[in-house]
Structure 1
Amino acid sequence: MNDKLLPDHHDSVMQRIERDLLDSYDEELEMEIDDARLAEGAEGEDGLNRQTYFRELLRLQGELVKLQDWVQHHKKKVVILFEGRDAAGKGGVIKRITQRLNPRVCRVAALPAPNDREKTQWYFQRYVSHLPAGGEIVLFDRSWYNRAGVERVMGFCTDDEYEEFFRTVPEFEKMLIRSGITLVKYWFSITDDEQHLRFLGRIHDPLKQWKLSPMDFESRRRWEAYTKAKEIMLERTHIPEAPWYLVQAVDKKKARLNCIAHLLTQLPYEEIEHPAIVLPERARNPDYTRHPVPADMYVPERY
């Protein structure tokens, strides 16, 4: 802060900074408005109260910022896979991980269904183009494991393609690791009843209906087939070089905190020292005159 500021002006600036900080906390509350258990002081039978949840979330996000600095400083390459059933909460934890990070350092890859051209490529080819360079973190919101899950259950791949995937994926992941990539794989686990309730919530909430698709309804109908596919996938791809980590995700708040806390243990990051930041004095030119802006260019102030 500029030492030349008058005391009264200094106080007003600090008050403004404090208000802005409170506004940023309010954004957190807006993100949680879908969770009825986050009413003021509310706590489930074995859940977290609101104060504890936000305190821990903000603390962990502070550590994620340190992790980001370390990754960028040392040119590390990090890939994190998020897999799980529909409505398991993958997007929620990804949103909390990326919320306070630099999108140029930490980005999300959420690939749509392959187009006709991509269907003719080597299966892993479209994922390779999203892998990180040095100093980057990439979060895959679903990944190459689509072949072991939805493609298998819905009949979008042949038996031969399915078996070839399992022959290839361990070698593919070992190759990524040998190239210097840190690979972390998460499966978000929810119960049949919990998925049913979350789908009902999406059906009855106009702000969430966009999340529903015909594939979601098929995933409900084929719950047991998805279960079998998941069990085979975990058995055949849980390798020492790239193990799976299961996140108990029935309680969304606990799942977010537990996943982030675990992720922070997977890299030996340390705080990077930065030089003190000094705000330079604004250059002022006595010949400069600010030109008026036409009133019709302003957005109407309705609030």
Structure 2
Amino acid sequence: MKKKILSILLYLMLSFLLTGCKEKKITLGGDISFDKEENIHYGNNPDQVMDLYLPHKKLSKERDVFIIIHGGGWHGGNKSQLTFFTLSLMQNFPHYIFVNMNYRLASQTQYAVPNQTDDIKSVAAFLKIKLNYTPKLILLGNSAGGHLSMLYAYQFDDDKNIKAVINIVGPADLSDPGFKTYQDYSFVEKYLVDPKILTPKTSAVNFASPIHWITNTSAPTLSYYGRTDRIIPMSQKEILDSVLRKHNITHESYEFNGGHLDWDKHPNDEVLIKKIETFLKKTDKK
């Protein structure tokens, strides 16, 4: 699959150099094609940019949107890390709209939350204007992006527009002793959450833990965790499943062979895409 996607990307890069255009048509085989708008600014900060993929074939039906959120420990990473996987998803979900977004990275002078969750909200607002309707959203993220997908869906989705969350190796309980061995855990404690938004008697770690905000109306969630992941332990999967089950939330979780960065390697990536397809069919019936 990746060789095919690589060929497509090389073709697109050549086309871009020849045309110098930020809008282009991407053909993924057969009659599957998308119009791509690259590096759209959805905010005033240079980091607030996104790539938008619209199905080339116009239909009257309002389409749901995948919002792809990269990882990188909240203070690193870039949307380009998920370009390959986004193209793979587009091949399997040709009737969806796709957004691959950057967000403001955290630092010792800039907190992750609420900036990064606000960025997801800004993308959702941008899409509403761009598409001229309010789309249902599927938030899909890996690692820190998986965490942000869950945190936004469970805590900040005031309009209840999240159709599903696809959480890939994302931490759900930041107080889990197994996660505290994470090498940047001190960064999580100090710079993940702006203390100004904390309520009395609520720690930053609890505030930023997605499981803390799960209720009986939370979004359906599919999770994917690595059996030998040394960053996000399997205890995270067990804790998340337990809380979702307690609140009667539609959820599924799966394990793959490999570590933190192996989820999009063959055959793990293909297994994940098939699980997503089946999961979304279930949520459609609700």
In the superposition, the TM-score normalised over structure 1's length comes to 0.29
Bigger share in strand: 2
Higher relative contact order (CA 8 A, sep 6+): 1
Structure 2 length-normalised TM: 0.30
Q: Which of structures 1 and 2 has the bigger CA Rg?
A: 1
